[in-house]
Structures are given as structure tokens and as C-alpha cells.
């Protein structure tokens, strides 16, 4: 096939019309497929159904009656499982409610209202900026935007954070108060931060003494193809005497049931004390019945890892299918490229610049909903307009196949339309 960019106007028009015809056939099918969020599919949810069977005993290991008020920071056995699973000390953990995002939000709000360990509350400062690796997770960006924190997008380099840029910005600007990131199987790129990146984040000099790393380790055990290992940011931060810099978040949303799981925040001794003090005003305690049900179901961290292998075996064919269809559809013409992750929930598709929004719009018109193009960037603004997040987990295989064929068709229509723009006569 002739290189796309060297095609004549006639050749490109013919190709565009061919793609348009294929696209119109899909549109006539009146599909209704939603791939907008990274939700587990029904088979994955079924893996945890026994958790719903209820408790035959309401007492925790220390004989505490889980039905009653008490124990703000979580049942000891719940902490123990997470401690073994994530290799973090039990005393560094506070168990939260059903959502890690909720804990992230609360952590930001506390910093804004009260500051931390004696620092000025962020909302009392004229400007506070947060570094946001892009492409990133839209709900992180919404939290910053809602609280009026300026977001500075920072790029990835070779599928890892660009630490030269991050170190420079953090060192020279004291209004930069933190970074929010997903270090393992990043949402959406699937990037896993290298040991050197983790060490540099733990070590780097920051102009702000209350600089904080929001370490959203949502996919820490969500391996699909390969089990990666993330360097221990707490140990490294301790080595460089920056242990108060880190807040780590995790939840079982994509282990058991999203919205009905158990979340946690892990941090230094100083931070944990401070958080508990503030939390005690906010709640008498989180849902211990849920914490106990989780413990009774899994019993130990090894069983969680076995359970995650079952998730992986359901997800793998779906990820394989997405990649296979992309490889097949774009074998001849390189209209897009994609990142194949080792784990997590997403495949990121990069189109030609200026084609992502149009691709998503066309897909929507053909009944296939994907996350808004732009959502991967702060303020919904990806200046290159080239990034689309694909979430393969929720649809059934047949639906996913159709959805990917439609999305591929949309990429082709949008790309050829974009290339044709160069032939549009500019009036003299
Ligand atoms: C990176 C990341 N953090 C947090 C969440 C939400 O976690 P939770 O359900 O525990 O609030 C998600 C869900 O997609 C996510 O991708």
C-alpha cells in the first residue's frame, strides 16, 4: 500500500470513501456497547460471589464485635492481609471505606483545609500546583480541578515518568505541592515505574517542604501477562528521610466488587497519627462487617494472589483480542499505535494528532461508547488530541470484537478525513 502521507488527493479520497462505506455498515447495525469505564465483567464479579453468603460469626480476631461502633483504623486481621499482600507494615495502614478514590479525595481536602504536620493549609496559599503524569486518570484530575489546584501535565518518556522534568519542576517551584500518579499498570498506559524512577521520586529535592506523593497503587496485584515488581517507595523514602512525603492508596474494587470493596491508605507514623486524628472527627469508623467478610472470604494474601490469577485468565483473552484486531486492521497502514500492558485495566491507543476526538465521536454515533478523548489529560485538554483509552474488561468477547472493529473503522475514517484536509483549497 502507498504510504498514507504520500497519497494523491484522488487515492486518499477513494480510500476514505471505502472506509466510510464500511463505517456506515456498522452504524446501520444500531449497536449499543459501553466501553467507557474499566469495570470488571460479569464472570470476574462471579469469582467473589461467596463473599455474599454472610458471616456466621461477627467477632474479629481480637474478639471485637464487628457489628458495633469502634476501631477507627480497621480490624487487625484486615490490616494483616493487606500488610502481607502489599509488603507494608500493619501499623502504617488505615483501612477505609468502600473506595480508595474517596480516601484520595479526603487526603487532598485535609491538606487544603488543615495543611500537614504544621504546614500552611493549601487553600490559604495564593497558588498550589500538582504534577499530573499524562496520559492519566480522569478522576484524579477532577479532584484537583474541583479543589482549585492547578494541574501541570508531565509527560511519560519510554513508558516511564520523565524524572528529569519532574525533578526540575519540583526543585524550582515551591507552589508545586505534589504529584498524583499510578505507579504500576498506570491508568491508562499500563506503565510500571522503574526502580530508578521510584528512587528518584523518594529522593528528589522539592522546593515545597510539604510536597506529597499520592501513590495510587490501584493495580498493585492486577497482573495479566507478567508479574512486575514495584520498588518499595516507603523504604526508599525512609532512606532519604522523606518518609512523610508518601501517601499510598489501594482497594479491593477490582479484586472483589467495585463500590463494595475495602480500601486503605498507608503512610508514615507521623502521617498516620495525623490522619487518624482528623478522621476521628469525620467518622466513628468504617464498615467492619465488610472488612470481616473480606477476611473470611480470602483468609490470607496467598489466596488473593490465586484469585487474581483467575481474574487474569478472564481478562487475558479480552486484551489479546483487542491487540489482535488492532494488529490485523493496522498491519498495512500505520494509522495508530497502541501500548500493550502487562496488567491493569486499559489499552491506550494513539491516533494521528487531531484524530482522537473525531474517532470517539464517530464510535459514539455507531453505538460504541468509549471514554471521552481528552479525559486522559487535565482539564479534558490533550493538545495533541491523539489519545484514546480502551477498557476491554466489561463487554463479552463477541461484543468486544465488534466494538474493536468499529473503533478501528472510526480511526480509519477520522485519519483519512484529517489527511484530506491538507488538500482543502485555501482561498487566495
Ligand atoms: C487508578 C485508579 N485509582 C482509583 C480507582 C478507583 O478506586 P476505588 O473504586 O477504590 O475508589 C480507579 C478505578 O478505576 C483507578 O483506575
Q: What is the pLDDT of residues 283-316, one digit of tens each?
A: 999 999 999 999 999 999 999 999 999 999 999 9
**Residues 158-177 pLDDT 10s:** 999 999 999 999 999 999 99
Across the range 187-202, mean pLDDT stands at 98
Q: How far is the CA of 218 from the centre of ligand 1 (A)?
A: 6
Would you state the cell numbers that stand for residue 79, as one nine-digit string? 490490616
pLDDT at 422 over 90: no
How many C-beta atoms lie closer than 10 Å to residue 161's C-beta? 26
Cα(113) to centroid(ligand 1), Å? 24
pLDDT at 133: 98
Q: Say yes or no to pLDDT of 3 above 90.
A: no
Average pLDDT over residues 48-63: 92
Alpha carbon of 249 to ligand 1 centroid (Å): 9
Using CB distances shorter than 6 Å, the residues near ligand 1 are 38, 99-101, 137, 182, 187, 216, 218, 251, 253, 258, 263
The CATH architecture one would assign to domain 4-44+305-421 is: Alpha-Beta Complex (3.90)
Q: State whether CATH 3.40.640.10 applies to domain 58-298.
A: yes
Structure confidence at residue 61 (pLDDT): 87
Distances (CA, A) of 329 to 49, 150, 404: 38, 40, 10
Mutate to test the pocket of ligand 1, among 97, 219, 250, 251 (most ligand atoms within 8 A of CB): 251
The 10s digit of each residue's pLDDT in 139-160 is 999 999 999 999 999 999 999 9
Q: Looking at 204-268, list the stretches that DSSP marks H as alpha helix, in order from N- to C-terminal side.
A: 233-239
Residue 250's closest CA among 217, 272, 221?
A: 217
Residue 102 half-sphere exposure toward CB, CA atoms < 13 A? 17
* C-beta separation of 329 from 368 below 8 A: no
Q: HSE-up of 197 (CA within 13 Å, CB side)?
A: 22
On the question of pLDDT at 1 being above 80, the answer is no
Q: What is the average pLDDT across 256-270?
A: 98
Domain boundaries, the chain: 4-44+305-421, 58-298
Q: Please report the pLDDT score of residue 2 as a whole number.
A: 58
Mean pLDDT of 176-180: 98
Amino acid at each position: 500500500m502507498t504510504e498514507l502521507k504520500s497519497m494523491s488527493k484522488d487515492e486518499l479520497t477513494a480510500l476514505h470513501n471505502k472506509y466510510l462505506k464500511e463505517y456506515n455498515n456498522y452504524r446501520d447495525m444500531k449497536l449499543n456497547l459501553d466501553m467507557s469505564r474499566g469495570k470488571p465483567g460479569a464472570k470476574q464479579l462471579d469469582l467473589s460471589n461467596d463473599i455474599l453468603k454472610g458471616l456466621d460469626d461477627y467477632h474479629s480476631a481480637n474478639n471485637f464485635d464487628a457489628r458495633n461502633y469502634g476501631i477507627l483504623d480497621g480490624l487487625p486481621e484486615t490490616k494483616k492481609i493487606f500488610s502481607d499482600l502489599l509488603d507494608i507494615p500493619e501499623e502504617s495502614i488505615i483501612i477505609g471505606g468502600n473506595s480508595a478514590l474517596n480516601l484520595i479525595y479526603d487526603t487532598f481536602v485535609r491538606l487544603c483545609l488543615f495543611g500537614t504536620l504544621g504546614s500552611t493549609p493549601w487553600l490559604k496559599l495564593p497558588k498550589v500546583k500538582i504534577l499530573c503524569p499524562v496520559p492519566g486518570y480522569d478522576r484524579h484530575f477532577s479532584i484537583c480541578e474541583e479543589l482549585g489546584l492547578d494541574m501541570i501535565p508531565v509527560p511519560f518518556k519510554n513508558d516511564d515518568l520523565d524524572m528529569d522534568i519532574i525533578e526540575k519542576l519540583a526543585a524550582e517551584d515551591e507552589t508545586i505541592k505534589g504529584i498524583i500518579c499510578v505507579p504500576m499498570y498506570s491508568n491508562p498506559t499500563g506503565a510500571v515505574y522503574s526502580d530508578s524512577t521510584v528512587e528518584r521520586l523518594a529522593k528528589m529535592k522539592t522546593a515545597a517542604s510539604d510536597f506529597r506523593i499520592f501513590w495510587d497503587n490501584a493495580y498493585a496485584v492486577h497482573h495479566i501477562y507478567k508479574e512486575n515488581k514495584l520498588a518499595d517507595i516507603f523504604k526508599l523514602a525512609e532512606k532519604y528521610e522523606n518518609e512523610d512525603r508518601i501517601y499510598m492508596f489501594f482497594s479491593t474494587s477490582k479484586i472483589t466488587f467495585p463500590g463494595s470493596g475495602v480500601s486503605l491508605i498507608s503512610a508514615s507514623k507521623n502521617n498516620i497519627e495525623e490522619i487518624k486524628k482528623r478522621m476521628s472527627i469525620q467518622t466513628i469508623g468504617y464498615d467492619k462487617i465488610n472488612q470481616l467478610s473480606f477476611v473470611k472470604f480470602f483468609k490470607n494474601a496467598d489466596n488473593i494472589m490465586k484469585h487474581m490469577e483467575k481474574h487474569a485468565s478472564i481478562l487475558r483473552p479480552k486484551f489479546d483480542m483487542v491487540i489482535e484486531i488492532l494488529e490485523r486492521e493496522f498491519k498495512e497502514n500505520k494509522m495508530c499505535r497502541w501500548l500493550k500492558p502487562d496488567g491493569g485495566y486499559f489499552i491506550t491507543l494513539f491516533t494521528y494528532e487531531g484524530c482522537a476526538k473525531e474517532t470517539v465521536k464517530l464510535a459514539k454515533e455507531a453505538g460504541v461508547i468509549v471514554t471521552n478523548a481528552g479525559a486522559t489529560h487535565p482539564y479534558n485538554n490533550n493538545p495533541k488530541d491523539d489519545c484514546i483509552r480502551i477498557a476491554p474488561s466489561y463487554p463479552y468477547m463477541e461484543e468486544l470484537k465488534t466494538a474493536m472493529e468499529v473503533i478501528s473503522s472510526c480511526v480509519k475514517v477520522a485519519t483519512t478525513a484529517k489527511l484530506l484536509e491538507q488538500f482543502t483549497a485555501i482561498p487566495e
